[in-house]
Structure 1
Amino acid sequence: MTHLVQGPGGFSPAGQPPRRKICVVGLGYIGLPTAAILADRGYEVVGVDVRPDVVATINAGRIHVVEPHLDTLVEQVVREGKLRAETSPCEADVFFLCVPTPITEDHRADLSYVEAASESIKPYVRAGNLIILESTSPPKTTEDVVIPHAVPEHLAIGEDVYVAHCPERVLPGRILIEAVENDRIVGGMTPACTQQVLDFYRTFVRGNIHATSAITAEATKLVENAFRDVNIAFANELSILAGKLGADPFEIIELANHHPRVNILTPGPGVGGHCISVDPWFLVEAAPEVTPLIRTARNVNDSKPHFVIEQVRAAAASVEKPVIGCLGLAYKSDVDDLRESPSLEIVRDLAGAGLGELRVCEPYVTAEQFKEFPLSSVEETIAESNILVLLTDHSPFRELSADDLAGKHLIDTRGIWRKVMAEGPAVRPSLPIDPGCDNVIRRAA
């Protein structure tokens, strides 16, 4: 049994120096906050990213993603010399792999980033190292991809090198809080791996840490997101049904949730982000014959953008010279994350549909960051459009008044304007939309 001693930088096998240096591979939405948190805890951290512009930005003390307070923390730890970015790994005591795991067009996991990251650290891995995969991954990725590509053949797992899967469980907008405060799962390839990595996480995590195996940790993270996906699919299917019935789905959900054992989620234009819209497919791929519910939920949510487009098509047909203002490209409120965003998918489809002129507003993305089509301000979009499509419930859109929205055809996929319009000028349904509608499409009388 391995005996542990606690040094100033964390735990290490007895007789070995304490772990002080950390290499974080992948400096995106998870990797950069992780690197900054660890640097703030006193570790020497080297962040690795293949994008030279990202490396240059971080080394200048700036950030390339939107996350509250991350800019201040990165500036501080870079200035203090605790964090630096490079384009290739180096020797370290602990290696974090925080790279994307997207899906292919046929809904299979693309593990090329995990494989490349694993291969990149292999020349630097030595006895006593921890290798931690934080990327959300299909079952057995740690065993079948990380170990063969990252661990030199002469090093024994659980004796020389300690490998574990520790899935991130954070919400964009709260990453710096939740990465430290949330409960974490540590799934080692062996009990010794689990113990070593668990003791390391105790040096910076204040939440409870749950020990398990690597494959259980991989499956648990996927199950968490599949659970939410199934529940969102119910809400999205309900929104279509309510439209068929001529009812307001948001009111139905609000009233149903007064039941003590009912908690229906809020419908929207689909499901986006790198987690909920992707992870359930990993479970389907692992065992397609026993996951029909998970597959159906994915199909329901993936089909929702097409339903919204049909709403816009019906609205555009009733307006002379339609100008369609699309509000939001990000997949959730008040972030700049466009990954798997149904809002972006809808705008792309509308751009090719020829239904009218488009005005696109995304207040959290700059024209320098996004060049696919021109972006307009909130004021320009409202003033120039006669159809407004609310796709992402950003704060600036929540703050619009009934006067701002008066005279427009409204397609509110998030239900955030219902109260504003109820308190504002008298309104009436503007169009009989079939099939159904996410919400009431209304126009000021």
Structure 2
Amino acid sequence: MTAGFDKVCMVGLGYIGLPTAVIFALRGIKVVGLDIDPVTVETINRGETHIVEPGLDDAVRRTVEAGSLRATTVPEPADAFLIAVPTPFLAGDDGLVPDLSFIESAAHSIAPVLKPGDLVILESTSPVGATERMAGWLAEDRPDLTFPQAHGEASDIRIAHCPERILPGHALSELVSNDRVIGGMTEACADRAAKLYRLAVEGACIETDCRTAELAKLAENSFRDVNIAFANELSLICDKLGVNVWELVQLANRHPRVNILQPGPGVGGHCIAVDPWFIVSEAPEDARLIRAAREINDAKPDWVIAKARKAADEHVAKTGALPRITCFGLAFKANIDDLRESPALEIATRLAEAYPGQVDIVEPFIEELPPVLATRARLARPSEAVNESDIIVLLVDHDDFKAMPVPQAARLIDTRGVWAGHSS
């Protein structure tokens, strides 16, 4: 049973869109993926993937071969449209502000193929009010149809917001098992969207209004950002006071009501590093703690770079030669290939700019360096990097790195605690 959803269109086939398309296709629903990149479309239609996610390769191959998943660059009619496109930020007068241009473009692209009874769901993490703005763009393009903002429960088109809640590396399982917050522009919109998600989601589908659903996702990620900022600020204090932060966190967490997170080189990814600014942009005078946490986490790469440059200066003073520096990891978190908003990438890039030709990169989840590093650094194997390095900066706690013996010869700057007790 497809609850009236014989065909679903997934708009955007990236880290969220493609796994989401797959979980519906695995249940026999016809899914067409819409993306502006022809290479992405061609790759998927061959039954292959363009992103690294455990289990996704096999799932795409099986659903494409079964005829339940295909991709296109040309919008076509469907019963439901799920939009999962980027929502980056731009510099504004009072911090960073969200860029909704990708959502607007997606709305304009599907508007011509909408028909009465269709459902449009915005999955992109968005500032409060974005779903209503999307509905406005659709209404502008299709004055022949009615929308919830003007016709309420009697509208031709149902519109809702349902933010994803997944951990990269576990996307396929979490898309099915996690609870979903489904915010409709009306109760009928929420109910219709919940019927769609229940076809593939085993977690609870909790209905609310679209503004609450939008803010729920932002609040979740801001909560995590604030807690990470506490750990990162603590690491700076420990460094100044000569205390091992990893041991300190371990000891403090023995308190039954304390759970300090692990510090790192900053915060990356397209959620935690971005979403808090959406709240700040809407309530700049009230979001003081949220802004402070963002500023602390955004500044952590500067601290790591200062540590590396100090080590480099000491090496030059001792040997008269520039050091060979190796950065272990570029991804924003362990065991994935995602470099979006990665503090590791920022640190590696700035070190390569400061020491051109002297920086090696070890990143097991990529096959070539991103353009920003390609002409300034070298992609190296772990063994050769360890043997040739004067300074090693560990930026990502990949399992591959945890399995390595602690490098002995090089000066170690460990931002993840993988070699805790051995770094300097």
- For normalisation by structure 2, the TM-score amounts to 0.93
Within 5 Å, give how 1:334-353 maps onto structure 2: 334-353=335-354
Query: Which residue number in structure 2 is paired with residue 394 of structure 1?
Result: 398
Query: Which residue number in structure 2 is paired with residue 301 of structure 1?
Result: 297
Q: In the TM superposition, what is the alpha-carbon distance from 1:105 to its structure 2 partner?
A: 3.1
**1:254–1:139 distance in 2 versus 1, CA, 3 Å:** same
The structure 1 residue matched to 2:129, chosen from 125, 137, 140, is: 140
Query: Which residue number in structure 2 is paired with residue 330 of structure 1?
Result: 331
Within 5 Å, give how 1:17-416 maps onto structure 2: 18-106=4-92, 107-144=96-133, 146-151=134-139, 152-153=142-143, 154-157=145-148, 158-159=153-154, 160-319=156-315, 320=319, 321=321, 322-354=323-355, 357-367=358-368, 372-373=373-374, 374-402=378-406, 405-416=407-418
Q: Is the 8 A contact 1:89 1:121 kept in 2?
A: yes
Q: In the TM superposition, what is the alpha-carbon distance from 1:156 to its structure 2 partner?
A: 3.2
**1:269–1:23 distance in 2 versus 1, CA, 3 Å:** same
SS in 2 for 1:352: helix
Rounded Cα–Cα distance in structure 2 between residues aligned with 1:129 and 1:21:
11
Q: Residue deviations 1:252-305, cap 9 Å, x none? A: 111000001111000000000000000000000001010111000000000000
Q: Is the 8 A contact 2:349 2:372 kept in 1?
A: no
**1:368–1:414 distance in 2 versus 1, CA, 3 Å:** closer
Counterpart code for 2:409: G
Q: In the TM superposition, what is the alpha-carbon distance from 1:202 to its structure 2 partner?
A: 1.1
Q: In the TM superposition, what is the alpha-carbon distance from 1:9 to its structure 2 partner?
A: 1.1
Rounded Cα–Cα distance in structure 2 between residues aligned with 1:118 and 1:276:
25
- Unaligned 5+ segments in structure 1 are 1-7, 11-17, 422-439
Q: Is the 8 A contact 1:334 1:364 kept in 2?
A: yes
**1:355–1:44 distance in 2 versus 1, CA, 3 Å:** closer
SS in 1 for 2:125: coil
Q: In the TM superposition, what is the alpha-carbon distance from 1:368 to its structure 2 partner?
A: 7.6
Backbone CA RMSD of aligned residues: 1.4
Q: In the TM superposition, what is the alpha-carbon distance from 1:395 to its structure 2 partner?
A: 1.2
Q: Is the 8 A contact 2:232 2:263 kept in 1?
A: yes
Q: In the TM superposition, what is the alpha-carbon distance from 1:417 to its structure 2 partner?
A: 1.1
Q: Residue deviations 1:350-391, cap 9 Å, x none? A: 111138710111110112876732311222221221111000
Q: In the TM superposition, what is the alpha-carbon distance from 1:209 to its structure 2 partner?
A: 1.2
Counterpart code for 1:56: E
Rounded Cα–Cα distance in structure 1 between residues aligned with 2:328 and 2:192:
47
Q: Is the 8 A contact 1:120 1:150 kept in 2?
A: no
Q: Residue deviations 1:191-218, cap 9 Å, x none? A: 1101111122111110011110000000
Rounded Cα–Cα distance in structure 2 between residues aligned with 1:56 and 1:200:
27
Q: In the TM superposition, what is the alpha-carbon distance from 1:88 to its structure 2 partner?
A: 2.1
Rounded Cα–Cα distance in structure 2 between residues aligned with 1:360 and 1:401:
18
Rounded Cα–Cα distance in structure 1 between residues aligned with 2:283 and 2:91:
18
Q: Is the 8 A contact 1:229 1:297 kept in 2?
A: yes
Rounded Cα–Cα distance in structure 2 between residues aligned with 1:313 and 1:368:
22
Rounded Cα–Cα distance in structure 1 between residues aligned with 2:405 and 2:208:
51
Counterpart code for 2:159: V
Q: Stretches of 4+ moved more than 6 A in 1?
A: none
Q: In the TM superposition, what is the alpha-carbon distance from 1:344 to its structure 2 partner?
A: 0.3
Counterpart code for 1:9: T
Counterpart code for 1:226: S
**1:325–1:298 distance in 2 versus 1, CA, 3 Å:** same
Rounded Cα–Cα distance in structure 2 between residues aligned with 1:22 and 1:219:
26
Q: Is the 8 A contact 1:125 1:150 kept in 2?
A: no
Q: In the TM superposition, what is the alpha-carbon distance from 1:221 to its structure 2 partner?
A: 0.2
Q: Is the 8 A contact 2:89 2:97 kept in 1?
A: yes
Rounded Cα–Cα distance in structure 1 between residues aligned with 2:298 and 2:372:
25
Q: Is the 8 A contact 2:233 2:296 kept in 1?
A: yes
Q: Is the 8 A contact 1:25 1:31 kept in 2?
A: yes
